[in-house]
Chains A and B, each alone.
Chain A
Amino acid sequence: KAGVTQTPRYLIKTRGQQVTLSCSPISGHRSVSWYQQTPGQGLQFLFEYFSETQRNKGNFPGRFSGRQFSNSRSEMNVSTLELGDSALYLCASRLGSGANVLTFGAGSRLTVL
């Protein structure tokens, strides 16, 4: 079965712009999480959605937001981009909660100039 699909894979933006990233989870998975990976900070949790509701949120400014649709697909949006937002954004899905295994997508690499 298809894995977690993230689009776009690569994108370049300039400071002040906004960006929307998309994630399609594995079929049947209702939970989608987003993580940011940078060389300096490593992998950090952004937020998790389950059945269209944000269930958990990491320590990121309000410029980072997300949503989940009824088909479990999720989008995350970053407004007023800063140079420090350059990162690999990873999406992961799982069946529900608790001890389920997370399956990650290939990521969207954002470069802010």
Chain B
Amino acid sequence: KQEVTQIPAALSVPEGENLVLNCSFTDSAIYNLQWFRQDPGKGLTSLLLIQSSQREQTSGRLNASLDKSSGRSTLYIAASQPGDSATYLCAVLQTGANNLFFGTGTRLTVIP
């Protein structure tokens, strides 16, 4: 069964710092990997989606990479801002399945 792990569980950084969030998965047979953001009590906002054939995707200050063979993905946030404070979740869509397997999330706090 696919298992998705995110490290660290929580992270506090001062405003302006660059940071990396990590995601690992046990089964490399995936269609794609998505990074989501969740604000307290709210739904999920999709940030980036990387297809299994891609190595990385970029959107503004966000860059996500995927190394399928090693079962790892990273989300890089440049020049962090207080508005980036949220929980970040990664999820994989496994080949042959129609549902996402989610990690437990990293709670990010950016201190002004």
Contact = CB atoms under 8 A, between A and B. Distances in A.
A109 B41 contact: yes
Contacts of B99: 33, 45, 48, 56, 58
Interface residues of A, number: 28
A16 B43 CA distance: 27
B102 interface: yes
A42 interface: yes
A107 interface: yes
Contact of A107 (B43, B97, B98, B104): B43
B92 to A, nearest CB: 12
A110 interface: no
Given A33-B99, A56-B97, A43 B46 contact: no
Given A102-B46, A103-B46, A97 B105 contact: no
B104 A42 contact: yes
Contacts of B61: none
Interface residues of B, number: 24
- By secondary structure, the B interface counts as strand
A43 B45 CA distance: 14
A55 B98 contact: yes
Given A42-B104, A105-B43, A98 B31 contact: yes
A68 B88 CA distance: 30
A101 interface: yes
B77 interface: no
Contacts of B100: 33, 35, 43, 45, 102
